Structure 1
Amino acid sequence: MVWVSSPWKIALMVFPAFILFTAFFVYPIVYAGGYSLTDAAGFSGADFIGLDNYLALVDDPFFRRSVSNTLLILVLSVTFLVPASFGLALLMQQRVRAAGALRALLFGPAIVAPILVGLVWVFILDPRVGLLNHLVEPLGIPPVQWIGGDSLTPYSIAVVFIWASVGFAMTIFYAGLQLLPREVMEASSLDGASRWQQLRFVTVPMMRETIGIVSLLLITNVFKIFELVYMLTGGGPVHSSETLVSYMYFVTFTDQRYGSGMAIAMVVFVIGAITSLAYLALSRRGRLA
């Protein structure tokens, strides 16, 4: 006997999830959107000012710098993290000694709090006491401002983010590789396909959905980078290393311009949503992954 759910039963089962989704996702977005249209600051009143906060962001050089830094980290992460984690997953699939220990070692940074990851890398990248400058000093290389400078800091943040995320992405790829049907791989091998041809024409097309999931998670995680910036540089010097979320935190809680901070939050939400939806749309058409 096939049990058929009535629309009322389906609605009853979905209702608790709908309430939670509305309370913890929809309502905060609507609330932040409303606040972004006011001049709320500190404990003073909030008057409606329309789109003035958004128009002010266009002329804000620190906001523009935070956007460029975030997009730079995104491009570097997509360019290097996805291929690197996929390659590591392929390597872990081979018969390598201590493969389990290597997987655990690579996955380790993913379970460490980002604030602790930032703290560890401070002792590596700090221009004065950092390990990296001490290692290159005997080679006659002058101290480099890996963090705290005007140019290299966003690249350093991208490197730390990639280091902290590669194990997590590798684990997802590794799980996807384990689900590939062995019959297809064996058939391609019997047909005379080389390992490179198997990878290009069999493995990668069959892993397309997994690659899309990893890329989508990567995009959303880049738009949430805060702790690394807070720990490595605090957004300095003069907000030159801010990301969108770290600058939103400064404007909202340090400068106490809640209306402007919520406007930045809405921009982050819109950019993240558009980027994710665009990638999903292109992936479905087979133009990516």
Structure 2
Amino acid sequence: MHWFSTKKTKILMIAPAVILFLLYIIIPVFMAFYYGFTNFTGIGKPEFLGLRNYITLFSDKIFYIALKNTGLVLAMSLLLIVPCSFGLSLLFARKMRGGKLVKAFCFSPNIISPILIGLIWVFILDPKIGLINAFLRYIGVSAQPEWIGGKTLTPYCVGAIFLWQTLGYNATIFLAGIKMVPQELYEASEIDGAGKMQQLIYITFPMIRQTIIIVMLLVITGCFKIFEVVYQLTGGGPNHMSDLLVTYMYYSTFTSSRYGYGMSIASVTFLISALFAVIYLYVTREQVGEEE
């Protein structure tokens, strides 16, 4: 056992993970920042342009549409996913018949390929062939909303799909945090006359604060990585009205062959998501520090 505790052994054991992290995360990030300052098209030698791509970016109307849509998905996800997944975790924590089957059923969307998720929801939300509008026509409702492919509803539908996709996963994380709360605290509070709501507010919430932080960060970073669902639903159309930052970056890089411009979008997306994460971590750290 002494061999495992030596400094050299620890370095050898963590080295593969560090190398892979550098190769597939850190180095590509720096490469994206570098190409964002060039007019690289994927072929030939890149020409350095300075801030020209970023000047073009911040005067690009489509970029602001994609930014607005991403913000809508993020706001909707934060408002719905966290409370809904926490409520579902409270249901999971209770002993009930068929509980394991319910957990597996709720978790299953998270293991389905995002491309398949997009395909499934195309047959549900498509204005012409979708299940919802077919049902509305069947019951005689004349209004046929453009759930996807229109100018308004697509970001909200993407947020709803993201909720469906990640609800069970986040509920499982919450459940793990709830299971770590000492049962003695609940028993002592019951002796003091505390009700279920008081236990939830004064015991459960404070004890799983770190779990809440983790789920919030996963939701924030997850919203900035949504690609396959949007690409399958609308491809960003019509006229980029349903694009998110990632789908517009993909279009600029691979469809328009403007690799440098696409990398400038990717760099800005990375900075925005990192900024949200840092601000949230700072705010929650201050709150935890005050409680301690």
Distance (whole Å) between structure 2 residues aligned to residue 29 and residue 42 of structure 1: 17
| Amino acid corresponding to residue 49 of structure 1 in structure 2 | L
Q: Deviations over 1:244-273 (max 9, x none)?
A: 111100000000000000101111111111
Moved more, 124-133 or 10-19: 10-19
Q: Deviations over 1:166-195 (max 9, x none)?
A: 011011111211121100111111111110
| Amino acid corresponding to residue 122 of structure 1 in structure 2 | V
Deviation at residue 99 of structure 1 after TM alignment: 1.1
Distance (whole Å) between structure 2 residues aligned to residue 206 and residue 178 of structure 1: 10
Distance (whole Å) between structure 2 residues aligned to residue 136 and residue 202 of structure 1: 46
Distance (whole Å) between structure 1 residues aligned to residue 268 and residue 9 of structure 2: 38
Deviation at residue 10 of structure 1 after TM alignment: 5.1
The count of corresponding residues between Structure 1 and Structure 2 is 287
Distance change (3 Å), C-alpha of 1:247 and 1:175 = same
Deviation at residue 233 of structure 1 after TM alignment: 0.5
Distance change (3 Å), C-alpha of 1:98 and 1:66 = same
Structure 1 match to 2:189: 188
Q: Deviations over 1:91-115 (max 9, x none)?
A: 1212322111111110010010011
Structure 1 match to 2:62: 62
Deviation at residue 20 of structure 1 after TM alignment: 2.4
Structure 2 match to 1:120: 120
Question: Within 5 A, what are the aligned runs for 1:97-116?
Answer: 97-116=97-116
Question: Within 5 A, what are the aligned runs for 1:19-168?
Answer: 19-137=19-137, 138-168=139-169
Deviation at residue 237 of structure 1 after TM alignment: 0.5
| Amino acid corresponding to residue 219 of structure 1 in structure 2 | I
| Amino acid corresponding to residue 121 of structure 2 in structure 1 | W
Distance (whole Å) between structure 2 residues aligned to residue 129 and residue 206 of structure 1: 47
Q: Deviations over 1:12-38 (max 9, x none)?
A: 554443322222222111111111111
| Amino acid corresponding to residue 83 of structure 1 in structure 2 | P
Deviation at residue 123 of structure 1 after TM alignment: 0.6
Moved more, 35-44 or 250-259: 35-44
Question: Within 5 A, what are the aligned runs for 1:202-221?
Answer: 202-221=203-222
Percent identity (aligned): 46
| Amino acid corresponding to residue 129 of structure 2 in structure 1 | V
Distance (whole Å) between structure 1 residues aligned to residue 173 and residue 9 of structure 2: 35
Q: Deviations over 1:208-252 (max 9, x none)?
A: 111111111111111000001001111000001111111100000
Gaps of 5+ in 2: none
Deviation at residue 2 of structure 1 after TM alignment: 8.0
Structure 2 match to 1:228: 229
Contact 2:90 2:175 in 1 (8 A): yes
Distance (whole Å) between structure 2 residues aligned to residue 168 and residue 199 of structure 1: 21
Partner of 1:101: helix, strand, or coil?
A: helix
Distance (whole Å) between structure 1 residues aligned to residue 272 and residue 22 of structure 2: 21
Distance (whole Å) between structure 1 residues aligned to residue 80 and residue 15 of structure 2: 42
Moved more, 255-264 or 175-184: 175-184
RMSD (Å), alpha carbons? 1.8
Partner of 1:235: helix, strand, or coil?
A: coil
Distance (whole Å) between structure 2 residues aligned to residue 98 and residue 8 of structure 1: 49
Distance (whole Å) between structure 2 residues aligned to residue 68 and residue 36 of structure 1: 22
Distance (whole Å) between structure 1 residues aligned to residue 20 and residue 89 of structure 2: 36
Contact 2:109 2:166 in 1 (8 A): yes
| Amino acid corresponding to residue 201 of structure 2 in structure 1 | R
Partner of 1:241: helix, strand, or coil?
A: coil
Contact 2:3 2:9 in 1 (8 A): no
Structure 1 match to 2:250: 249
Partner of 1:263: helix, strand, or coil?
A: helix
Gaps of 5+ in 1: none
| In the alignment, structure 1 residue 238 sits paired with structure 2 residue 222 | no
